[in-house]
Amino acid sequence: MGKSEGWLARAVARVSLVTARLARAGVGFVWPPLFAVVAAASVVWYLRNTKDRLKLLGSNQIGYQQQLEAVTPVAAALGALAVVILGAVVWRRFRAGRFDTARVFSVAGSVLIPFGAAPFVVALFQPDIEKKTPFLTLFYCAIAAFFVGWGAYRIAFSQPRLDEPEPSKLRRTLARVAPWVAGAVVLGLGAAYAFYFARLSIFTHHALATRTIDLGIYDNIFYQSIHGRPLRCTFIKAEYHGSAHFDPILVLVSPLYLLYPRAEMILGLQSVWVASGVIPVYLLAQRALGSRVQAIIIGAAYLLHPALHGATLYEFHSLTLAQAPILWTLYCHFTDRKIAYWFALVAALLVREDVPLMLSMLGVMTLIHPGTSSRARGLFTIVVCAVYFVTVKMVFMTSSGIVMTGQDSYSFAYYYQELIQGGKGIGSLLLSFLTNPAFVVAQMFEEAKVQFLVTVFLPLLFVPFFVKSRRLLLAYGLALTLLASRTAVFSTHFQYTSTILPFAFALLPQGIRELSEGALARLKGFDPARLQRALVIGAFVASATVSAKFGALVENKVFRGGFNTVYRKLTPQQEELYAFIDKAATSIPVGKSVGVTNKLGPHVSNRRHVYFYGQRGTDYVFIDEAELKKDRKDKHQQAVKEGRLTELMRHGTYALFQSTPDAKKPTATEETEEDVRDVLGDPQKEE
């Protein structure tokens, strides 16, 4: 009896000791592994029949018996955790001689904490959740990033010993090849992005989801430029792109068009160009973070960003091309590469007329916070940007106004119609700031714009806003998007995020480093290296989850390339229709003029004389009759009836006609310019 009482007393004493150690250690060591295990096990029931059960996550409409069935994996997981911990206790008791309670729970928590994201990741797969509740979807993405980042912080890797002998030959070899391996990985990621998105772009084009506005316009600019007519385009006012934008970079790269003179070429070029931005992103991250692996992760986050996908897949736009040269300009600036900086700056300025407005913020930032760069560089940057912008507006464009005005120009004042009264220009916008600032703030923080901001910056954990010395770089892009009335401007489906993304990703690595080493991190006792790693991994998880629900890599309910549905493959009917379109387009003799409707323009825009149907008389008419409005359709049918148009080929509503050579009187293809719709008008109105 005495022995029994002694054993019982020792057991009670041991339990009391363990309890006391837990109390001293605090519940922080206890609840993370418990929560993670429960959270992970709670989704097992839903994963057994995802088709029927995932829809229940949003309503909790499951019966009591089903709840009991669902809780069984939770109980089993808790039991398994108890067995594991008990095994650790016994092992340390007999092998190490001492049980470190806090250590066991800490290690278990570090390994298991990322599993706490399981319910929220699974919830992201509810049918149509990104369409029905976008804010909730983004919140789940944020929670997933938090748990995975927290787990990454808690996992401690062994540090190299200070007295470690000279590295082995193998380690020296690995150190030499590491930069090459990292470079190959980055190039591989970029190549994969370029291939995948070029493929999607071309599929979408072949599915007839692209339009003359804008792919046909840019394709014609390439054709005209390579044939000695820089920036000319027969679809637009003055037959010159300077009536809307000035983008001489298109002239410089137009020789590439000779490799394959069709719209597919510039779609592929855009995908490759955008993908190349991963290189300066990687270099900036490697410099700021001091880790090639973390820099690769930041580069991958860049390629995952849904706004990058939207810009890449919205037909073709010169603004989309601005991202890579801007990133190179920022890289040269932050690394103090004096000569290379000016070459990169000039290349960026040539992309479009508004790039000087973006990069002037870099000059202002340098004047305020010179850092490693001189204030002189900042001043000269402002001067160069100002002189270039004024010269372009006064000499090379058809309007000197910032938002464009005049008969031969396309005004963009309607983009900001809520703040620009009567289309009076930028002056009216400034007056709105001065006379009704409360309304301006209300405009900037509408619900759709808040969602836009969260979608853009959640993948970056909002870190760029914390880089005090450099966040001024975001000013132009935020003003351009948040002040707009036109919804396309503050959407991740369009090219306008190109005014934000390159600056945000250039700031991300520096922001992560500053947060990791900052006063707040020191005050809270965070380890800088581990916190940096946690932020990098958290940003990647946020990018991956947001991309899955709002990007193009995974098919979802909300992603579009601009106004267009993105096609991942063609149906047999679409393949048959495109074969007809291609055959009809190639049958039109070279040198002959063609009149087209909006949908068919990009398929014949690689010629000298191609116009909107009704813009002027043409030798051939290639149209989708379903696109014709009533008055135009009546005139078209009259021209066919009178023999002024002879049908050559037809597939449903798609038809190719030839004009009668000896017809003297005006045909349905000869109307005044006023009868032709504004070809650079708001496509949203057409929708």
Q: Which residue has the tokens 């911990």?
A: 85
Provide the residue type at 427 as one letter: G
CB count within 10 Å of CB 407 equals: 9
CA separation, residue 75 to residues 110, 112, 439, 454 (Å): 21, 16, 55, 37
What the block records as the tokens of 612 is: 């909107």
**What is the pLDDT at residue 331?**
96
Question: Looking at residue 583, what is its pLDDT?
Answer: 95
Q: Does pLDDT of 153 surpass 70?
A: yes
Name the token pair of 463.
């870190």
Q: How many CB atoms lie within 10 A of CB 237?
A: 20
Report the C-alpha gap between 247 and 231 in whole angstroms.
8
Q: What are phi and psi of 673, to 5 degrees?
A: -60, -30
The tokens describing 88, both together, are 């650790």
Q: How is residue 333 written in tokens?
A: 């600036």
Distance (Å, rounded) from C-alpha 448 to C-alpha 450?
6
Closest by CA position to 506, among listed 234, 278, 342? 278
Q: Which of the 8 DSSP states describes residue 159? A: P
Burial of 77 (0-12, 13-18, 19+ CB in 10 A): buried
**Residue whose pair of structure tokens reads 């220009």 in the numeric block:** 425
According to DSSP, residue 649 is labeled: E
Instruction: Measure the CA–CA gap between 161 and 172, rounded to whole angstroms.
Output: 17
Q: Among the residues of 207-304, which ranges form H helices?
A: 217-226, 249-253, 263-275, 278-289, 292-304
- In a 10 Å sphere around its CB, with 0-12 CB exposed, 13-18 middle and 19+ buried, how is residue 484 labelled? buried
Note the pLDDT of residue 668: 44
- Residues 519-535: tens digit of each pLDDT: 888 888 888 999 999 99
Q: Which of 561, 661, 582 is nearest to 620 (CA)?
A: 661
Phi, psi of 621 (to 5 degrees): -130, 120
Half-sphere exposure of 96 (CA within 13 A, CB side): 12
Q: Please state at what angle helix 306-313 crosses helix 501-517, rounded to 10 degrees.
A: 170
Query: Which string of b and e fits 247-271 if b means at least 16 CB within 10 Å?
Result: bbbbbebbebbeeebbbbbbbbbbb
Identify the burial level of 158 via C-beta atoms within 10 angstroms of its C-beta, where 0-12 means exposed, 13-18 middle and 19 or more buried. exposed
Whether residue 173 is predicted with pLDDT greater than 60 in this model: the reply is yes
pLDDT in tens, 32-54: 777 777 777 777 777 777 777 77
Instruction: Tell me: pLDDT of 687 over 50.
Output: no
User: Rounded to whole angstroms, how far apart are CA atoms 332 and 328?
Assistant: 6
646, β-bridge pairs: 658
pLDDT tier, 117 (very low <50, low <70, confident <90, very high otherwise): confident
Q: Which of 259, 280, 262, 251 is nearest to 201 (CA)?
A: 262
Query: What letter does residue 418 receive in the DSSP assignment?
Result: T
Over residues 336-395, the pLDDT tens digits come to 899 999 999 999 999 999 999 999 999 999 888 776 557 889 999 999 999 999 999 999
CA–CA separation, 1 vs 4, rounded Å?
Answer: 5
Q: pLDDT tens digit string along 245-280? A: 999 999 999 999 999 999 999 999 999 999 999 999
* CA 73 to the chain's CA centroid: 39
pLDDT at 242 over 50: yes
Identify the pLDDT of residue 46: 77
Query: Residues 335-340: contacts with CB within 8 Å, 24+ apart?
Result: 335/283, 335/287, 336/372, 336/373, 338/377
Rounded to 5 degrees, what angle do the CA atoms 621, 625, 631 make?
95
- What's the pLDDT band for 610 if we cut at 50, 70, 90? very high
- Taking only the tens place, the pLDDT of each residue in 286-297 is 999 999 999 999
The residue type of 295 is A
Helix count (H) and strand count (E) of the chain? 30, 5
Contact (Cβ atoms closer than 8 angstroms) between residue 310 and residue 493: yes
* Cβ count within 10 A of residue 181: 12
Neighbours of 405 (CB within 10 A): 17
pLDDT per residue over 445-455, tens digit each?
999 999 999 99
For residue 187, report the phi and psi dihedrals to the nearest 5 degrees: -65, -35
* HSE value, Cβ hemisphere, 13 Å, CA-based, for 518: 14
| Of 356, 362, 393, residue with least CA distance to 379 | 362
- Report the chain's mean pLDDT, rounded to a whole number: 85
Helix (H) or strand (E) holding 67: helix 64-91
